[in-house]
Structure 1
Amino acid sequence: MGTSRMFRIFVVLGSAFMILLIIFYWDDVGASHLYLNTPVSPGPKIPHPHPQQRTQTSRTPSFLSDIDAFVNQFLEPGTGEPTDPVPAESSNQSEKAEERYIPRREWKIHLTPVAAELRERQEQRRRLLQEMCANDSVVFPGKNRSFDDIPNKELDHLIVDDRHGIIYCYVPKVACSNWKRIMIVLSESLLHDGVPQRDPLAIPRDLVHNSSMHFTFNKFWKRYGKFARHLMKVKLKKYTKFLFVRDPFVRLISAYRNKFELRNEDFYRRFAQVMLRRYANQPTPPASVDEAFTVGIHPSFSHFIQYLLDPQTEKEMPFNEHWRQVYRLCHPCQIQYDFVGHLETAEEDAEHLLRQLRVDNVVEFPTSHRNLTASSWETDWFNTVPVEARRELYKLYEPDFRLFGYDKPDSILNE
């Protein structure tokens, strides 16, 4: 009887010890390994698309997908390749063993290296970012704060793809629609006829910009609680991080053309009416964008610049993401980006990046045939803007010019 009782006591103590061991392992190791790689999106809640599109979102991750995520931790981030060589298959291996070593579709052997000039271009852009962030002459709000000091609400542009170990900081008006499409394809967060959508251009625009389609850093707190910041840092260290930028002034022109020269009810009510009242002698502007366009009323580009320079603007709310500075969207002095693409070299950069990520056989960057804003138009657009206002605008966006290697537009500033 005494032996049986002692046995039960040992069983209880042993069980308690194992539970404590599991808790400590989860807290110290699991945080950066197990649920770090668990698929992050439980299936976005989105409006039902048009019946003809027949799209659906993926289901809640299953136990098998969790196992797959655990296996993925042994892959090099952003390459899709295992850290250790895969054992060569032999004829006497079982079918299960053969399946185990069949490479995923994302793995691809490249027979020719990336051109040396493209590698050097990236090295120069990364080096410039580091130098500008260390340069005391380059001053802007938030430059010297730590990553922990960045509020969650300012991390909503960092999209995470745990399947391939990628973090993309999207910048509106810099081909972000197409890069968001690619992130949806890679993360397999959208299904078509029961299989992951593979054609980026087939993804409806309303889904591309639906926030529920993307898992961003600012959502970590809700999913991971106290581990959120720790996981962000682990992923930032492990994953491949990229962004695309463009000439800051050209980006502003593009934002103006898209949001105020086209009928956009939301932007008309939120911004255009304010500009018309303050700067265009329109105390009672038309109630809707349709009425305004019917009578030929909309804010001019000069009014838009006045709005950006008006101290009252930022007192009311932060800049809208379409004209907010890149350094405020992507925090390049707190996040060491592995790849910096420029819209001016978009096709070459996109091909280089997808190849670096080893996903160029899974998805291609869509070629845009839309009417893009050209850098050569800058002088024409700024003709109606007073020179002093141009110089003030440059000061407002100077950090973006210098961080990303864009020349100071002297021809515009010194007329």
Structure 2
Amino acid sequence: MVLRLTQVALLTFLCASLILFGIIVQSEHGWGSVTHFRLSHLFKVKAPFTPSPRATTVSTEKAGLAHYVWKQCGNPDAEMTSSAALKSSPFSHVLVNDKNKMLYCIVPKVACSNWRRVLLALSGKVNATNPTDINIHAVHHKYKSLLPLLRSFTRPESEHRLSNYYKFMFVRNPLERLLSAWRNKFQTNMSTSVSFRRYFVQVIVRQYRNDSQQLDKKSLDSVQIRFDEFLRFVVDQAEKGAVLNDHWERFHKLCHPCTVRYDFVGRYEHLEEDAMRVLKSVHADRMVRFPQRSAVYKHSRTTEVMREFYKDIPASLLKRVYRCYQEDFQLFNYSVPDFLKLENNKTMIST
């Protein structure tokens, strides 16, 4: 009898000690995972739910730029339904990779060619596992149909993909992207579609030059479009409410980030790091590597020459450019480059 009472007392003391230990740890550190783990094993308490790796990644990412964008749009925490998203946006720039359950919104001049190469390599629809083995021009022509657009699916199929696939997009400082578009499309030493260049050269020459006589194809190829002419053309079109060409259209017009909540919004300025985050999120980081800047690009990086090209642009035109892209600046948390700031910390394009 005495032995039994002793055993009961010992058990009571042990339980009390464990409870006291738990209280002490909780008071110093909060109910942390280590304490909960130990107690759950001793008392067979069900351990806390651990989210899947993808859920953890998405949650972390949405606390970053993607979450910031969603909040800037004035949206509540609850996501817009895929049905409502389809009603308000055509999603004509969203590529689908069914194999890896990815939706990528194409933003030209923000590494979109390389993202096409990556998605093609992952899809298994081309005879290449290394994205760099895929011809960068072929992704826009020969292989273009291998990555369908979201708009090509039926409504129920699109809703399913919007609700269940990993959605991502990449952005870039709007002023830098504009300069990149002009350099690529209008400087004769850059690679671009000849027909594309001829069309816009003729439009711009007619609109902004007195000697706007009819130009033949040979003459069009020799015409140099100045950067200020290009900027005037873009803002004039935007202020008229015209749909801009994809290469200089606003991000929010292309990808509708206030309609669909993206899992990740990456920056061109952190391209390598952010691309790896995307690939890890869909467990593809061991399958492919995002291509590095190719050696074929002989010219200086756009970031290195921005000051040179923007310094002679009239302040009045810069203000119009900023107003045109103001929503993108604010939505994606971009600031005006330092070289456009004055001594009093105001900017040349402040309104």
TM-score (ref. length: structure 2): 0.71
Distance 2:220 2:326 in 1: 34
Pairwise mapping of residues 19-38 of structure 1 onto structure 2 (< 5 A)? none
Return 178-187 or 124-133, whichever deviates more: 124-133
1:381 aligns with 2:309: yes
1:284 paired residue number: 213
Number of aligned residues? 279
Contact 2:198 2:220 in 1 (8 A): no
**TM-aligned CA deviation for residue 379 of structure 1:** 2.8
Q: Amino acid of the residue matched to residue 255 of structure 1?
A: A
Distance 2:101 2:280 in 1: 14
1:181 aligns with 2:106: no
1:125 aligns with 2:65: yes
2:235 paired residue number: 309
Contact 1:78 1:357 in 2 (8 A): no
**TM-aligned CA deviation for residue 351 of structure 1:** 1.5
Out of 82, 89, 95, which is 1:159 matched to? 95
**TM-aligned CA deviation for residue 120 of structure 1:** 6.0
**TM-aligned CA deviation for residue 367 of structure 1:** 0.5
The C-alpha deviation readout for 1:246-302, integer Å capped at 9, x for no partner, is: 1011000000000000364212232111111211323125322x53454xx221111
Contact 2:174 2:329 in 1 (8 A): yes
1:247 aligns with 2:185: no
1:298 aligns with 2:236: no
Contact 1:78 1:240 in 2 (8 A): no
The C-alpha deviation readout for 1:358-413, integer Å capped at 9, x for no partner, is: 11111110101334643353332123322111111111111111111111347534
2:145 paired residue number: 212
1:392 aligns with 2:325: no
Distance 2:146 2:138 in 1: 7
Distance 2:327 2:93 in 1: 19
Distance 1:236 1:361 in 2: 25
1:234 aligns with 2:168: no
2:281 paired residue number: 356
3-state DSSP class of the match of 1:231?
A: helix
Contact 2:250 2:328 in 1 (8 A): yes
Distance 2:113 2:187 in 1: 19
- RMSD (Å), alpha carbons: 3.1
2:87 paired residue number: 149
Distance 2:300 2:140 in 1: 20
Distance 2:180 2:224 in 1: 16
Q: Amino acid of the residue matched to residue 156 of structure 1?
A: S
Contact 2:170 2:267 in 1 (8 A): yes
The C-alpha deviation readout for 1:44-93, integer Å capped at 9, x for no partner, is: xxxxxxxxxxxxxxxxxxxxxxxxxxxxxxxx9996xxx9xxxxxxxxxx
Q: Amino acid of the residue matched to residue 179 of structure 1?
A: W
TM-score (ref. length: structure 1): 0.61
3-state DSSP class of the match of 2:167?
A: strand
Distance 1:312 1:375 in 2: 24
3-state DSSP class of the match of 1:243?
A: strand
Distance 2:53 2:219 in 1: 50
Aligned residues: percent identity?
Answer: 31
Distance 1:311 1:405 in 2: 25
Q: Amino acid of the residue matched to residue 132 of structure 1?
A: Q
Contact 2:61 2:264 in 1 (8 A): no
Q: Amino acid of the residue matched to residue 231 of structure 2?
A: I
Q: Which has the larger radius of gyration?
A: 2
Distance 2:95 2:140 in 1: 12
**TM-aligned CA deviation for residue 339 of structure 1:** 1.1
**TM-aligned CA deviation for residue 353 of structure 1:** 1.6
3-state DSSP class of the match of 1:235?
A: helix
Q: Amino acid of the residue matched to residue 262 of structure 2?
A: Y
Distance 1:352 1:335 in 2: 20
Distance 2:239 2:202 in 1: 13
Distance 1:305 1:162 in 2: 38
